[in-house]
Structure 1
Amino acid sequence: MSTMLVSVAELSNIFSVLAVLICFCAMVLFILRNMVVFRLHGDEFVFGGGVHPVQPQIPQMKMMKVHIPFTFKIQESSKSSYNDLQCTLSSQVNYTLHSFWGVSIRELHLFLWRPWGAIQTAVRQKSLLSGYCQQQGITLQKGPHGDKTITMQLPSPDSLDLGTPPRLCYPLVIFLIRDDTETPHPDETVALINVVHIKDSVCTLPTSILAQYLKQANGQLSCLKPLYLANGNPLGYDDEPPSVFCEAGLNSEADKEAATPTAWGPTCTSQEQLCVVCQYFPLSRALLPCRHTCVCASCFGKLDRCPMCRSPIRSFFCIRKEDYLPVEARSSSDAKSVPLHRWLLQWNDRLTDFLGFH
């Protein structure tokens, strides 16, 4: 009898240990199962209060500044019809204007991707977009000039057939082609192609420029898109980006070096816009893909979304030099170091995915 009691006592200790182990395992599984919930609601308790800066690794796009000798705009006050379309253009070089009505969309884009030599040959042979348009408009040869207004008019309004939406033809395409006797530099702009939509009874969208394409001598084709400043106004291709040096009349390198700031202070004039986050440094970075130009280099390192439209930042490029920050500050703004608490959260996510707790 005593032996049986001793055995039962020993088994009770084993049962207690097993019960503790089972409870411990159940507690661990419960914590792992709800780790995401604990993380969301326990950040303030574990990592302290306040806003934690998010520093994602956002790549920078290397952009090259290209000079465009042409400008082309549609006057908003014009009647904007096929019989009266008033355009304002300017040029810094000799050029030839070619206009075409009812241009095939597919054939136009295939033609634009041809080498510049092939396009030049078509211009000399007067076969530019031959067979790809329904009517050929005016052709003008002009020298350098300021803003000048010209009127576009469809030669035969009754013979233009653009079809039903979605249309297969552009209403109007205008080429501004540079006339040079010398061989241009490979990166030089040689043509500006403007695609214009005109309001009619079938497509009632307002008359506007649908797209503008830039052709370079090396054959590169680029689509011009505006940058949106913090005040909502677009920064077009004919607007100069903010200047690095605020003082006017800096001609020598010594003057520019003397004007370069060395302290943490804004160097913008009253015409330049300030960062929408700190309201201290001037705008210097354009965010992609939303194209909002609204932050400085100092605040960029703390963002992962655009402060204007809240869209994720995929990449960026600089519209001006960032000499208003010291070198160590510029390097720290670009260095996307991961803090300790961010590393712990990333490790937690990997562990949760590995265990299959979603």
Structure 2
Amino acid sequence: MRQAKNPFGLEITNPSTATITTGITLTTDCLEDSHLTCYWGCIQKLLYEALQKHAYCFRISTPQALEDALYSEYLHQEQYFIKKDSKEEIYCQLPRDTKIEDFGTVPRSRYLLVALLTLADEDDRAIYDIISMVSVIHIPDKTYKFPCRILYQYLLLAQDQFHDLKQLFMSANNNSTPSSGPSPEEKNADRSFLERAGLCEGEAEPSEDSSKDCVVCQNGSVNWVLLPCRHTCLCHGCVPYFQQCPTCRQFVRESFALCSQKEQDKDKLKTL
């Protein structure tokens, strides 16, 4: 069973405040020096053609490689240098002179924002299996005011492959008090929009268990994601012994840890 380390991390900071006119703040967390390149108004068809080109023609390991694959068909581009382990907050915004308030009704031909993370140092690209990450981000505009979110994330591998990151099927929850979130009505309306836009795969929301522990030993904290089934149900100690997912019995092709063993140990000490 092969294990792959993802050097890239990307989150939306305060998604409730992001709009197409006010911009968006992204927080990066990269293991190595990287470049964050944001493409506003990227044509959907060209983006998926670019991903296919990575698999069959050439590697998208640099911003220039993706720009060539997109034929520069986007409205605006921004690029930032990200220092490793810095957890920087990056503010991105369409220039005001574009005077764009929305991207029209669905189905849309363009994504509002596509964020590309690539390794800055060529030597690092020879070390990691994952050499870039593409994130497709929805931002509220004048026509559709649904909450800001990451719609898709793709990990691009040095072996001319790419993986579509999907929602994890967790075997545990944190038993914390739920934060204020969208109502069921808002969720249904949101999902309806995504389905019409072709941005929803129609998968049911995964159910969660009340336990925090590994489904096998019932002792260690769940930390390992199994692919391709996406079940997150094993701890660090149990994962080496399983060639099949203990939840669905699907054969495991790859796996990765949500956090390092050291980080888990630190979290345990904080709770003591």
The reply on whether 1:141 has 2:81 as its aligned counterpart is: yes
Change (3 A) 1:208 1:113: same
Q: Which residue among 93, 100, 114 is the counterpart of 1:173?
A: 114
Report what 1:102 is aligned to: 41
CA distance in 2, matches of 1:226, 1:218: 24
Q: Which residue among 194, 197, 204 is the counterpart of 2:135?
A: 194
Change (3 A) 1:279 1:110: same
The reply on whether 1:81 has 2:16 as its aligned counterpart is: no
CA distance in 1, matches of 2:163, 2:214: 29
Q: What's the CA shift string for 1:190-235, capped at 9, x where partnerless?
A: 11111100122322321100011111222211112243322246xx
- TM-score, with length taken from structure 2: 0.61
The secondary structure found in structure 2 opposite 1:113 is helix
Larger radius of gyration: 1
Residue ranges of structure 1 left out of the alignment (5+ in a row): 1-61, 234-270, 298-303, 307-312, 321-358
CA distance in 1, matches of 2:226, 2:37: 35
CA distance in 1, matches of 2:212, 2:140: 36
Q: Which residue among 209, 216, 219 is the counterpart of 2:160?
A: 219
Q: Which residue among 127, 139, 149 is the counterpart of 1:208?
A: 149
Name the amino acid aligned to 1:175.
Answer: L
The secondary structure found in structure 2 opposite 1:147 is coil
Pairwise CA distance, 1:316: 4.8
Taking CA–CA contacts closer than 8 Å with sequence separation of 6 or more, which of the two structures ends up with the larger relative contact order?
A: 2
Matches within 5 A, 1:10-159: 62=1, 64-76=2-14, 79-82=17-20, 83-115=22-54, 117=58, 119=60, 123=64, 127=68, 129-133=70-74, 135-156=75-96, 157-159=98-100
CA distance in 2, matches of 1:161, 1:172: 12
Report what 1:19 is aligned to: none
Matches within 5 A, 1:208-357: 208-232=149-173, 273-275=213-215, 279=218, 291-294=230-233, 313=248, 315-317=250-252
CA distance in 2, matches of 1:124, 1:103: 15
Pairwise CA distance, 1:274: 3.7
Residue ranges of structure 2 left out of the alignment (5+ in a row): 175-210, 239-244, 257-272
CA distance in 1, matches of 2:144, 2:212: 39
Name the amino acid aligned to 2:159.
Answer: N
Question: Does the CA-based 8 Å contact 1:103-1:172 persist in structure 2?
Answer: yes
Q: Which runs of 4+ in 1 moved over 3 A?
A: 115-122, 124-128, 181-187, 277-297, 316-320
Pairwise CA distance, 1:164: 1.3
Pairwise CA distance, 1:174: 0.9
- TM-score, with length taken from structure 1: 0.48
Q: What's the CA shift string for 1:213-264, capped at 9, x where partnerless?
A: 111222211112243322246xxxxxxxxxxxxxxxxxxxxxxxxxxxxxxx
The structure carrying a bigger helix percent of its residues is 1
Change (3 A) 1:292 1:137: same
CA RMSD in angstroms, aligned pairs only: 3.9
The count of corresponding residues between Structure 1 and Structure 2 is 208
The secondary structure found in structure 1 opposite 2:145 is coil
Question: Does the CA-based 8 Å contact 2:18-2:140 persist in structure 1?
Answer: yes
The structure carrying a bigger strand percent of its residues is 2
CA distance in 1, matches of 2:85, 2:214: 34
Name the amino acid aligned to 2:27.
Answer: T
Change (3 A) 1:216 1:108: same
Bigger mean CA offset, 209-218 vs 124-133: 124-133
Q: What's the CA shift string for 1:282-336, capped at 9, x where partnerless?
A: 7598688874434798xxxxxx996xxxxxx46253869xxxxxxxxxxxxxxxx
Change (3 A) 1:124 1:161: same
CA distance in 1, matches of 2:82, 2:11: 17
Change (3 A) 1:186 1:232: same
Pairwise CA distance, 1:161: 5.7
